[in-house]
Structure 1
Amino acid sequence: MTTTATPAFTFRPVDPLKDAALLHGWVTHPKAAYWMMQDARPADVERAYLEIQADEHHHALLGVGADGEPAFLMEYYDPAHRELVGLYEPEPGDVGMHFLTPATEAPVHGFTKAVITAVVGRLFEDPAARRIVVEPDVRNTAVHALNEAVGFVPVREIQKPEKKALLSYCTRERFERAVAAV
C-alpha cells in the first residue's frame, strides 16, 4: 500500500563518522545498484564520505524530513573539477548532482519526485548556479523520467570509466516552468 504526501525537507551536511552506518544500509541495498557501492563495507562508506567532506569541489548532504529523520542523500559537485572532467564543455554556473532515496517497504507516492524537486530547488537557491548537470546510467529509465519531470533535457550519451551515462542539463528557467506546471 502506498500513501501520498508532499513532504518538506531541510538539509544538513553528511557527518561521515555519525552517518556511515545509515548510508551503508542505503548505498548497498539492491535498489541502489546505480550508486555502485553494492560491495562496500561500512568502513568504505565512511572513507568515501570523509573524502567528499575534505573535497572543496564535492559535497554531500542529507535531506531531513519533517520528523527530523534523514530521508535521502544528495551530492553536488563542480563538474569542471569532478565526475565530468573532459567529458563535456562546462559552463560558468554548472553544478553536478546525484541523489539517492533509500529503499522502503512502505513507499510514499510522489516521494522521489518531491526529493528531486527539493534537491534541484536547493541547488538553485545559490544565485551562482545557472545549470544543473546530471549523468545517470543510460539504463536507469526511472531517474530519466524524474529528471524530465523537473526540467532536465537529455543532451547525449557519454562514456564514463564506470558506466555509459546520459548527460542531461536543467536550467533554472526550465526547472521553474516544470515545477509551476504541476
Structure 2
Amino acid sequence: MPELIKPADNRAALNPAFGLRPLCLDEDVATIQPWYQMDYAHFWNMQNMSIEATIDFYRDAATHGLQAYLGYYDDSPAFVLECYDPRRDLLGDCYPVQPGDIGMHFFVGPSQRPIRHYTRDVLRTVMAFLFDALAAQRVVVEPDLRNERVHRLNRLVGFVDAGTMALPGKTARLAFCSPHDFAQSLEEQAP
C-alpha cells in the first residue's frame, strides 16, 4: 500500500487515525464499487454500476481532471474523496470561479462499528488535505438539495451556503469554505 497522507501536525483537532492516498483504480475498485451499491449511496447515482462501469467512470472523469483518493481509518479503507477544477466542470458555468477553487465530493464507506463523530472526522480530514496538501484557496461543493445530512456536515466544517442551482440530474445546494472558515470551525468544536 502506498504511504498515507496524514493530517498536518498543526491541526490538533484532527483525528490522526485518518489518512488518504491516491486511488489505485485497478486495486481499489473492488473495495469502493460495493460501497456505491448501498442504500445510502443513492445521491451518488452509481448504484447500478458494475465494477467495469465504475472503472470506466473514473477513467473518463480523470481525463476531465478529476482526482480521486482512497481514505483510510486505522489502516482500513474508509472513504473516497473526489476533487476537481470547477473551470473544467459544468459547475464552473454556474458561479464565478476564483483562482484556487477546488470542487469536492466525498463518500464514506460502511463502518464496522459505530464511532462517535466518524463522518465529521472524515470530512475534517478531507478539508485539511484540500487546504494543506492541495493548496485550495476555497473548497466548493454542490450536493443534492435533499441531502440534509451532508448539508449539516458541511456547515460543521465551515461551509457557507450560496443558494441553489440546477445541475444535470439534481437541484444542488452550492456552498463554499475558505481556509479561515475551516480553521474557525475546528476552534469552535471540541475534537
Normalising by structure 2, what TM-score?
Answer: 0.86
CA contact (8 A) 2:78 2:110 kept: no
| Cα drift, residue 115 of structure 1 | 0.4
Does residue 1:63 correspond to 2:71, yes or no?
Answer: yes
SS of 1:19's equivalent in the other structure is helix
2:34 corresponds in structure 1 to: 25
Give CA-to-partner distance per residue, 1:48-73, whole Å, 9 cap, x none. Answer: 12223444x2100011222x211110
Identity of aligned residues (%): 35
| Cα drift, residue 126 of structure 1 | 4.1
Task: Give the ranges of 4+ consecutive aligned residues of structure 1 lying more than 3 Å apart after TM superposition.
Answer: 52-55
SS of 1:62's equivalent in the other structure is strand
Does residue 1:151 correspond to 2:164, yes or no?
Answer: no
Q: Which moved more, 1:170-179 or 1:39-48?
A: 39-48
Does residue 1:72 correspond to 2:79, yes or no?
Answer: yes
- The equivalences for 1:97-108 within 5 A come to 97-104=104-111, 106-108=113-115
| Cα drift, residue 127 of structure 1 | 6.8
**Which of 35, 48, 51 lines up with 1:42 in the alignment?**
51
Q: Which moved more, 1:133-142 or 1:45-54?
A: 45-54
Normalising by structure 1, what TM-score?
Answer: 0.90
1:123 corresponds in structure 2 to: 130
**Which of 132, 139, 142 lines up with 1:135 in the alignment?**
142
Aligned residues: 176
The residue identity in structure 2 corresponding to 1:45 is T
1:90 corresponds in structure 2 to: 97
**Gapped regions of structure 1 (runs ≥ 5):** 1-5
CA distance in 1, matches of 2:42, 2:68: 19
- Give me the CA root mean square deviation: 1.7
Give CA-to-partner distance per residue, 1:109-133, whole Å, 9 cap, x none. Answer: 2000000000001000147411000
The residue identity in structure 1 corresponding to 2:70 is L
| Cα drift, residue 83 of structure 1 | 4.3
CA contact (8 A) 1:14 1:49 kept: no
- C-alpha spacing 1:52/1:180, structure 2 compared with 1 (3 Å): same
CA distance in 2, matches of 1:83, 1:9: 31
CA distance in 1, matches of 2:134, 2:71: 21
Q: Which moved more, 1:92-101 or 1:104-113?
A: 104-113
**Gapped regions of structure 2 (runs ≥ 5):** 1-14
| Cα drift, residue 7 of structure 1 | 5.2
SS of 1:47's equivalent in the other structure is helix
